[in-house]
Chains A and B, each alone.
Chain A
Amino acid sequence: MSTIPEEEYIVKCTSACAGCSSSLCLRYVLKAAGPDSVLVVPACCTSVIQGIYPGTAMNVPVYNIAFAAAAACASGMSEAFRALGRKTNVIAYAGDGGTADIGVQALSGALERGTDFLYICYDNEAYGNTGMQRSGATPLGARTTTTPGGKPTAKKDLDRIVEAHNPPYMATACSAYPLDLYKKVKKALSIPGPKFIHILAPCPPGWRYPTEKTVEMGKLAVKTGTWILYEREYGRLTINGPSKTAMRRPAPLEDYIKGQGRFKNLSPEILDRMRQQIERNVQRLAREEAGAC
């Protein structure tokens, strides 16, 4: 941890919920990015977390933009900075709804155009700041305010959509592994062109677990193989340490879901489908890393 700078770019007046992991992630993202950075934020929890006018909790410029427009706005900003001869990091920091759903077109366009920027999706698996409605990134079986009986379909595989654009760097991360996240942001920002990091960000009020369990919840997501930490540099996949272990000897899925109110009363069929899904993901990524696909 000694490599992480002490400078803080989020000061102590955020409007984040207790136990908010996405603001924790942003803290490490900005420590890695440093002061010559601009955040582009569409409608998401971070719209609220950053503070209310005339105050701000952020110590870098934050450009707020409409829900669907983060990647497009960041495109314009990046091109303009480069036109001005400036290397300023342009970082879109968007939720899963703003990325996998309403913002996916703009993201696709920006990736395809080779925009020099870092797009970070912090994924709390629902529309968080509107009170937990289902998004395309909500997992199978999860109860949200618009899936009171549990979501009947699987989580959209955003990373494979991004992968199809062949960005020079993409990675997954999780709020429970801040050093891993810090290193990934550092690496991403050292590479020109479009970069993408997808962070799993457990959400106490949305997932319905006690606030003090927020780190544990992230760890369990990784240890059960539900969330796999990896990097893909110029197409080459590397599974990261914690997930290597989890893929060999995953913790029981029940350890992850039993502590979350959103997965209350899952049917055995849904639980079974969740296990199969994890297994498929693990095998696919293991095969790819071994060069067997």
Chain B
Amino acid sequence: MLTIATGNKAVAAAVKAARPGVVAAYPITPQTEIVEQIAEYVTDGDLESRYIPVESEHSAMAACIGASVTGVRTFTATSSHGLLYMHEMVHWAAGARLPVVMANVNRALGPGWNTWAEHTDAFSQRDTGWLQVFVGTVQEAYDATLMAFKIAEDERVLLPVMVNLDGFSLSHITQALDTVDIGDFLPPCHLPHAIDTENPLGYGPMTGPADYFRFRWDIERSMRDARGVIAEVEGEFCERFGRSYGPTEDYRCEDADVVVVAMGTLGKEAEVAIDRLRDEGIKAGSMRLRWFRPFPDLDLAGRDVVVIDRDYSFGFGGVVAHSIRSKAGVSPYSVIAGLGGQEVTYNDIADFVRDRCPGEETWFGVNDHV
């Protein structure tokens, strides 16, 4: 059904369609609209789900963990400080192999208080064992949330999935949304290690040095298998509903001499810049990185690469730029831009391409760096 919605409402609509048994909810700007909308669905009887209004994000994830291990589908949503507050449990959900799905509305971290978009919150959870996808449109927020349940609950994966959408620049903007009748796209959740009082097991007991690493390797093996599962699920989604997704969304890349790599809404903004540059005769393309974990193989060899990082690892560099440097074997021009909602227009992105210095790093808007 064609309608219009914000990014947040799109996530909530997808959750309604996925029908989780338990939703744990704690509000934080700019995620609030998601948990408000789900509360309304539950209250109005549009979603038959146990809604747990927890007292913190740490408890939100703990409640999802406790619910998920009984075998029910679970969902929560957070942002920024909320995500960091639940960090311990974010690790726990993955270590416990529970297919929790969480929307994270990307937002900067204090101090100072800043509620605008940045990706540092999600990247701080990089090594937790969660799959992470970043979306660029309202439609994609809906589609990716639906697919997240199917990917997480696949027996070859059984890892939690984080759906990331930019605070305000996607969470609060309104675009067209085509909601679908999901039919049997999402079969009932089946957790092979669900708690069974007839067959009592110990979950997560003391595990010594001779065994612990095996469980860690098992997470990595599933993370590797997840690449294929993601491709399968995205393929099935396309067949059923006609919208195609992959590890990246490539725009005019085929013959490009220079490729802009960005994530989230800046990846969409880059497409406009590419059209401008093409008009000038510059053979530019853009590659919006969708999946951050598992990190995809990218074909960027032989071209100039401009990476826009809406994040920073202090004392090291842009997280995406360095990921691409190590995984794709190129030395990109690293632009740090959009932190805390800093405005970055398509003209600015076109300038990054025009002024690119491969191998160097620059902070957009900062003039005193060397």
| Complex Cα–Cα for A59 and B197 (A) | 9
Q: Give the distance to chain B from A259, nearest Cβ to Cβ, in Å.
A: 32
Q: Does B64 contact A (CB under 8 A)?
A: yes
A58 contact from B21, B24, B64, B202, Cβ within 8 A:
B202
**Which residues of chain A are within 8 angstroms of B68 by Cβ–Cβ distance?**
76, 80
Contact B52 A82 (CB under 8 A): no
| A-contacting residues, B101-126, CB 8 Å | none
Contact B211 A75 (CB under 8 A): no
A69 contact from B22, B58, B195, B201, Cβ within 8 A:
B58
Contact B202 A75 (CB under 8 A): no
Contact A84 B72 (CB under 8 A): yes
| Complex Cα–Cα for A139 and B62 (A) | 30
**Which residues of chain B are within 8 angstroms of A40 by Cβ–Cβ distance?**
66
Q: Does B137 contact A (CB under 8 A)?
A: no
Contact A61 B201 (CB under 8 A): yes
Contact A63 B62 (CB under 8 A): no
| Complex Cα–Cα for A29 and B206 (A) | 22
Q: Does A191 contact B (CB under 8 A)?
A: no
Contact A36 B24 (CB under 8 A): no
Q: Does B74 contact A (CB under 8 A)?
A: yes
A48-56, A118-126, A147-155, A277-285: which lies at the interface: A48-56
| Complex Cα–Cα for A84 and B194 (A) | 12
Contact A38 B72 (CB under 8 A): no
Contact A56 B66 (CB under 8 A): no
| Complex Cα–Cα for A79 and B200 (A) | 20
- Render B204-215 as a binary contact track against A, CB cut-off 8 A, 1 for contact: 111110010000
| Given known A40-B66, A54-B211, A80-B21, contact A64–B205 (CB-CB < 8 A) | yes
| A-contacting residues, B36-58, CB 8 Å | 49-50, 52-56, 58
Contact B195 A63 (CB under 8 A): yes
Contact A53 B52 (CB under 8 A): no
**Which residues of chain B are within 8 angstroms of A75 by Cβ–Cβ distance?**
52, 54, 59, 62-63, 66
A105-113, A156-164, A204-212: which lies at the interface: A105-113
**Which residues of chain A are within 8 angstroms of B197 by Cβ–Cβ distance?**
35-38, 60-61, 88
- Greatest chain B CB density within 10 A among A52, A53, A58 is at A53
Counting contact residues on chain A (CB < 8 A from B), the size range is: 35 or more
| Complex Cα–Cα for A65 and B59 (A) | 11
Contact A63 B66 (CB under 8 A): yes
| Given known A54-B211, A63-B69, A113-B53, contact A76–B202 (CB-CB < 8 A) | no
**Which residues of chain B are within 8 angstroms of A199 by Cβ–Cβ distance?**
none
| Given known A36-B197, A61-B195, A61-B200, contact A66–B67 (CB-CB < 8 A) | no
| Given known A51-B202, A53-B202, contact A76–B64 (CB-CB < 8 A) | yes
Q: Does A217 contact B (CB under 8 A)?
A: no
Q: Give the distance to chain B from A167, nearest Cβ to Cβ, in Å.
A: 16
**Which residues of chain B are within 8 angstroms of A58 by Cβ–Cβ distance?**
200, 202
Residue ranges of B at the interface with A (Cβ–Cβ < 8 Å): 21-22, 24, 49-50, 52-56, 58-60, 62-72, 74, 88-89, 92, 195-197, 200-208, 211
Question: Apart from A60-B200, A62-B202, A80-B21, what are 8 other A-B pairs with CB-CB below 8 Å?
Answer: A64-B205, A65-B65, A75-B52, A76-B63, A80-B71, A84-B21, A88-B197, A113-B54
